[in-house]
A and B are shown apart, each in its own frame.
Chain A
Amino acid sequence: MKLAGHPQPAGDARTDRDLVYAARDGVTEAFDALFYRYRDGIFRLGLAITKDPSAADEIVIDTFARAHRALARLEPDDSLRPWLYRVAVNLSYNRRPRKNVVLSSLDDAADEALANEEGSPPNVAEQAELRRLVLGAVDELGPKHRLVVVLHYLNGLNLTEIAQVVDCPIGTVKSRLHYALRRLRTHLAAHPELGIEPSRPLLATGLRGRRPITAPVPLEDE
């Protein structure tokens, strides 16, 4: 989406490393290219944590201001993304809403996006309700587990990048994601409209035995 008031440059094919070195030499366009490359992702991350669009805007500005000041000592191997997201996560947690302040949640933002969606009103309303349920369940996770889910499903980071962002071993990230998905599954199974089967104890269903499974769900099914 291009905005009339903010002309965006065409996608720069240079790597982050090249852009950082160019920006270090004072090339303004290189820093602008980095800004446009990561602006939206950082905005979404800030919005997911703070739930405040204006705070998310400030987080984007502060993150890139810090990046600009750190250009001299920045040594990105190939991607600047984990470093920027780490700064954004820290800034977002500093600006988290207080307990008494009521701000729009993730599902409000989803409703806003759904307002532009095409389709019959009942279908749109049904989709909005399902999304509200899922995002409400994500909101109920603990901050560490929610952050992993948001970084993966909202920002599209893989486990290695998430480990760099949250500054912990990749095994910890796997454990957190595993816990979060199991918790979400338990929570969402209470809503049959989502089509998620309630988890049954394996021993009770007889799955513990060495009976072969006929049709396991393939990983690449999308």
Chain B
Amino acid sequence: MVEKIKAELGAALGGVEIRETEYRERGYHLSCEASPGELLKAARFFDECGFYLAAIVCVDYREYLELVYIFANHSALCKTKVTLKLDPAKPAAPTLSAIFDCAYWHEREIREFYGVLFDGHPNLTYLFLHEGIDAYPLRKEQVLLADEDKKALGAFRPEEGEDTFFVNLGPQHPSTHGVLRVVLKMDGEYIQSAEPVLGYLHRMHEKMAENRSYLQFLPNPSRMDYLGAMSFNLGHVTAVERLCGIAVPDRANCVRVIATELNRISSHLLWLGAYLADLGALTPFLFVFDDREQINDVLEAVTGSRLTYCYFRFGGLYNDVDEAFIAGTKAFIERMRGRFGLYEKLVGGNVIFINRTRGIGVIEKERARKYAVSGPVLRGAGIAMDMRKAEPCAAYSEMDFDIPVGTRGDALDMYRVRVREMGTALDIIEQALARLPDGPVMAEKVPKKLKPPKGDLYHTVETPRGELGIYIVSDESDRPYRMKWRVPSFSNLMIFPELARGNLLADAVAILGSLDLVIPEIDR
């Protein structure tokens, strides 16, 4: 696959040098540097080949700005990095939003944080930030916003037509699960267009990463996605380990899998409760919290926290598991297996629930690719893609599990995929418990101050919400030069305006819930 893409891409671009890189070190197979025209050609080439645009990252190297495009594939492991150099005084690049829909959002983000202008982009207005911020936050040197830039960024104003009116869903609305605001243009009860406004919980994680060492940044990822905190913690830790070449003991790898999967179940459970509460069923909420508390008890004993875990360390774990943990996990597995029948009776077979979700928010495969959605939303659309299988970290490569997929891609399928995923998570935990080896849980001689070699890395892990990509640029110091978090909820939210169009307001709530969004993760 890699060879084929290299040859074909080379032919499509004509004369551009395409380098093969060491996948184990870099996280991508091919890289090339393009000019604006070649970038468009490359994007069209990847679109034709069925690739998706995983992320766009901007890095400020002081002498120049660099845009990094990561293209990846659902069916085979083949990642390509395409870079584009920009002049920091007047950064401008062509937009890819006409080719990949997800670029529309990534480019708006880069516009706000770096001031890069994208030629031909339909709507470069504030997405995360607001008028109160005077400089581009992520530029290395202070670059102030010119007045006309501010005016252009603040240009978004809801406009009412003759027969339409606006409804603000959020930023303080129970069904948005946090502080997401969606401006809905309504034609009677039907939605004409939806425009998400983000950034009500923008906590500057990426800026913080540049300001502190790798170790000091450890507590932050779990505060991005507090429901899948373990997966985010795992992503950060494994990315830095990969960058520094630290080997982790087997026992630690196994425990990582157990803890992450327990956390995944607890995340899906909370989603289940909250989603049904959105749809008007409050009873399941009480049931899922009962189960969640059992997981919290087990994890709290070894990690020391109930929610925002910071359990993994570079090279291993903070604390070894004990007999009580293993016994508690086994007891939980047994209890949980008995609960699925109850949930099926209470929820899955409920006529009201089925009628409210069947055929709602249907995502086709092609649309899923264009928007680069991931996780259960992608699998609900029928694409069997799971980072635990595609790019296994920790001990996932030794686990045997299948990937549940949906058939229709509607909200009901998302529900079924998530419930079945809880089952596979239990299988994985059982396997990991069975083969849990003895030995240390911490690698020897991990330096206190980590100074990874120069270079970059795009590392992915599967979180409960989908593909988390971490792009790190190291300049040999103990702090990351740039750390970009490609978060799954952000990509999954992008598709919402298209799904909501033409639907009833009540159905929009059902669609929004089925995407399983965690707002602090989107806002970062």
A binds B: no
B residues in contact (CB < 8 Å) with A: none
A residues in contact (CB < 8 Å) with B: none
